[in-house]
C-alpha cells in the first residue's frame, strides 16, 4: 500500500479509535462477482470483537456474567468489494445509554481506497447468569470513554 493511499485510509477512519484489518477471502465472493453482503456483517463482528478485547469486555463478562448482546445491526453498502483486498474496519462507540450502547463501523477497501460500507449496531448490556438486561457497569463506561478519547468526528 502506498503512503498516499495509507493516509487516505487513515483520514477515512480518523473518527474510529479501533481499526481491524481483514483479508477478503475468495470464498466470500458470490455469483455476482463481488463479496456477498453477509460477509460485511462478519467484518463488523470481527471489528466489534477487536474493540471488546481492547475494552476488556470479554474478561469482565467472564468475571461478572455481564456482557453485550447484539440487539440490532444495519449496513449501508457503498462500493463492492472483490478478492483480493484488505478491508480496514473502524469501530467507534457513538452513544452510551444506561443499558445499551451504539457502535458504528466503517469498512474501507485498501484496493479501492474508499469506503465500501458503513454500519451500526446496538449492543444491550445483559446479565447472562440471570438472563436479564443489566445496566452497563461503570468500569466499562470509563474504559469506553478512555478508548474514545482523542478521536475526531467526521459526521
Residue for grid cell 447472562? 128
Exposure b/e, 13-33, CB count within 10 A at least 16 = b? bebbbbbbebebeeebbeeee
Query: 69 Cβ partners below 8 Å, 6+ apart?
Result: 123, 124, 126
Helix axes 37-55, 57-64, angle to 10 degrees: 70
All three cell numbers of 142? 470509563
All three cell numbers of 42? 462478519
Residue 15 sits at φ, ψ, to 5 deg, of: -90, 5
Instruction: Assess whether pLDDT exceeds 80 at residue 44.
Output: yes
| Model pLDDT for residues 98-148, shown as the tens digit of each residue | 999 999 999 999 999 999 999 999 999 999 999 999 999 999 999 999 999
Q: How confident is the model at residue 153 (pLDDT cuts 50, 70, 90)?
A: low
Supply the pLDDT for residue 155.
Answer: 43
Spatial distance between the Cα atoms of 127 and 65, rounded to a whole number of angstroms = 6
- Maximum alpha-carbon separation in the chain: 51
Mean pLDDT of 57-67: 96
Residue for grid cell 467526521? 154
Residues in a beta bridge with 89: 20, 107
Report pTM.
0.93
What domains are defined for the chain?
Answer: 3-148 (3.10.129.10)
Spatial distance between the Cα atoms of 77 and 106, rounded to a whole number of angstroms = 10
Alpha helices by DSSP H, listed for the chain, are: 3-12, 37-55, 57-64, 138-148
Look at strands 100-109 and 114-127 and give their pairing.
antiparallel
Amino acid at each position: 500500500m502506498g503512503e498516499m493511499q495509507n493516509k487516505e485510509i487513515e483520514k477515512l477512519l480518523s473518527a474510529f479509535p479501533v481499526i481491524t484489518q481483514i483479508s477478503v477471502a475468495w470464498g466470500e465472493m458470490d455469483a455476482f462477482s463481488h463479496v456477498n453482503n453477509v460477509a460485511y456483517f462478519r467484518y463488523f463482528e470481527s471489528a466489534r470483537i477487536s474493540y471488546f478485547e481492547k475494552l476488556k469486555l470479554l474478561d469482565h463478562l467472564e468475571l461478572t456474567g455481564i456482557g453485550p448482546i447484539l440487539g440490532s445491526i444495519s449496513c449501508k453498502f457503498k462500493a463492492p468489494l472483490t478478492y483480493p483486498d484488505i478491508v480496514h474496519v473502524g469501530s467507534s462507540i457513538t452513544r452510551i445509554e444506561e443499558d445499551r450502547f451504539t457502535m458504528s463501523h466503517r469498512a474501507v477497501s485498501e484496493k479501492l481506497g474508499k469506503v465500501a460500507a458503513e454500519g451500526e449496531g446496538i449492543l444491550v448490556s445483559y446479565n447472562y447468569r440471570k438472563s436479564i438486561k443489566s445496566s452497563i457497569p461503570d468500569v466499562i463506561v470509563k474504559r469506553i470513554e478512555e478508548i474514545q478519547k482523542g478521536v475526531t468526528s467526521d459526521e
